Amino acid sequence: MLKIVDLHHRYNFKEVLKGINVEIKRGEVFVLIGPTGAGKTTLLRIIDQLEYPTSGRVYFDGKEILTSPGLRLKIRRRMAMVFQKPVVFNATVFDNVAYPLKVRGYRRKDILRKVGKMLEMVELKGYEKRNARKLSGGEIQRIALAQAVISDPQVLLLDEPTANLDPLSIDLIEKLILDFNKKQGATIVMATHDMSQGERLADRMGVLMEGKLIQVGSPREIFYNPKNVQVAQFTTRNNILKGVVSQNENGITYVDVEGKIIEGVSSFQAGERVYVCIKPEDITLSLSKSRTSARNLFPARINLMSFSGPLVEVELRCPFPLLALITRRSAEEMQLRVGQKVYASFKATAVHIIG
């Protein structure tokens, strides 16, 4: 549906996009994740033709979009974008939502019907005559989404569509996005820095950091097999430990981390400097050494415990630092407290080693 080839973009001598290559398939939800300033907005704006790239090509349905003005308009009318800080026109809610249809020359009868249906969908029925500028942030975001969706675009571009919204508004907007994707088969490209949102919505994700698309893959691949330490640091609350491979035996890699040996699965050879990533939820705590088949077992001392809902984050010293995520129930059953000695264990397959 969308193909981006060797795209570079500069702002005042600063390169903000560095050789982006990616293909986005028809009907998929593609989530761009990356820290603020990584270039996500710029990439979306270039796809939407609001900016010309310094170099590179963008194809829509096999056609290059940066050629003639006529083709640009035609393709732009098959896409729509919702901005991070949406602006609505200083007009009524009805006129705002009707705008994309008016500029396309729809008949009044069709406009009335479509706008009515759309306002019902975004739960703003009865707001037709109100001035859009006077509504709340969540309501304005829904108007922006209604504006974008009303012309049935084939590609919907969303730039942080739920930043600064309350949880209820976020739920509603996510539901609308997924509905639009499933029912209309629209392709969605969404930028977000909210990992969990990416994981909830994405078919595939792209990690954009400092203008480079570092990794593209399913959310599982991104979260469990981060390509490098930056991706690992950004995508989840990983335990990331520096170490040196001391030995590799039949695929089992022994990594020396602060004098302790952690076993994992990789093809790194002895002497190589690596990072060991372990997800906090893959770590099991027990009060005694017994009954574990995990290859990695370390005595540890609890440094800090922080409760959040049904879960507890436990900071350990093994002596290397380790963060474990366990349920509140098991923490209570074991009567865990700060300063206590416990055993932390995790499987070799839960250890992801990157260079």
Partner 1 sequence: MGELWIALLKAFELILKRDPEVMQITLRSLRIAATSTCIASLVCIPVGGLIHFYSFPGKRILINIIQTLYSLPTVCVGLLVFVLFSRSGPFGGLGILFTPTAIVIGEVILITPILLGLTLSALSGVNISIRDNALSLGATEFQAIWTVIREARFSVVAAVIMGFGRAISEVGSAIMIGGNIKGFTRVLTTAISLEIQRGELEFALALGIILILLSLVVNIIMNMIQQR
Pick the closer one to partner 1 by CB: 50 or 270.
50
Q: Alpha-carbon torsion 238, 242, 246, 250, what sign?
A: positive
Q: Does 338 bind partner 1 (CB under 8 A)?
A: no
240 forms beta bridges with 277
Q: Does 320 bind partner 1 (CB under 8 A)?
A: no
Q: Does 76 bind partner 1 (CB under 8 A)?
A: yes
CA distance 146 to 167: 19
Q: By the 8 A CB rule, do 84 and 41 touch?
A: yes
Pick the closer one to partner 1 by CB: 46 or 255.
46
Q: By the 8 A CB rule, do 91 and 131 touch?
A: yes
- Closest to 156 (Cα-Cα) out of 190, 119, 182: 190
Task: Specify the pairing of strand 14-24 against strand 284-286.
Answer: unpaired
Stretch that binds partner 1, among 43-51, 107-115, 200-208, 333-341 (CB under 8 A): 43-51
Please state the φ and ψ torsions of residue 171, each to the nearest 5 degrees: -55, -45
Q: Shortest distance, CB of residue 311 to partner 1, whole angstroms? A: 40
Pick the closer one to partner 1 by CB: 132 or 318.
132
Pick the closer one to partner 1 by CB: 19 or 137.
137
Q: Does 31 bind partner 1 (CB under 8 A)?
A: no
Q: Does 303 bind partner 1 (CB under 8 A)?
A: no
Q: Shortest distance, CB of residue 32 to partner 1, whole angstroms? A: 17
Q: Does 318 bind partner 1 (CB under 8 A)?
A: no
Size of the site for partner 1 (CB under 8 A): 23
Q: Contact with partner 1 (CB under 8 A): which of 54, 92, 131, 151?
A: 151
Q: Does 292 bind partner 1 (CB under 8 A)?
A: no
What does R_g of the chain's alpha carbons equal in angstroms? 25
- CA dist 321 → 229, 301, 328, 344 (Å): 17, 10, 21, 11
The secondary structure of residue 282, as a DSSP letter, is G
CA distance 55 to 52: 8
Q: Does 147 bind partner 1 (CB under 8 A)?
A: yes
Q: By the 8 A CB rule, do 59 and 47 touch?
A: no
Which residues inside 87-146 make contact with partner 1, applying CB under 8 A? 87, 89-90, 99-100, 103-104
Pick the closer one to partner 1 by CB: 73 or 338.
73
User: Could you give the residue ranges of the DSSP H alpha helices within the chain?
Assistant: 40-47, 69-76, 93-103, 108-121, 137-149, 167-184, 195-201, 219-224, 229-235, 328-333
Q: Contact with partner 1 (CB under 8 A): which of 39, 86, 211, 219?
A: 86
Which residues inside 196-235 make contact with partner 1, applying CB under 8 A? none
Pick the closer one to partner 1 by CB: 134 or 182.
134
Q: Shortest distance, CB of residue 142 to partner 1, whole angstroms? A: 15
Stretch that binds partner 1, among 16-24, 147-155, 258-266, 299-307 (CB under 8 A): 147-155
Q: Does 73 bind partner 1 (CB under 8 A)?
A: yes
Please state the φ and ψ torsions of residue 257, each to the nearest 5 degrees: -120, 110
Residues that bind partner 1 (CB under 8 A): 45, 48-50, 73, 76-77, 79-81, 83, 85-87, 89-90, 99-100, 103-104, 147-148, 151
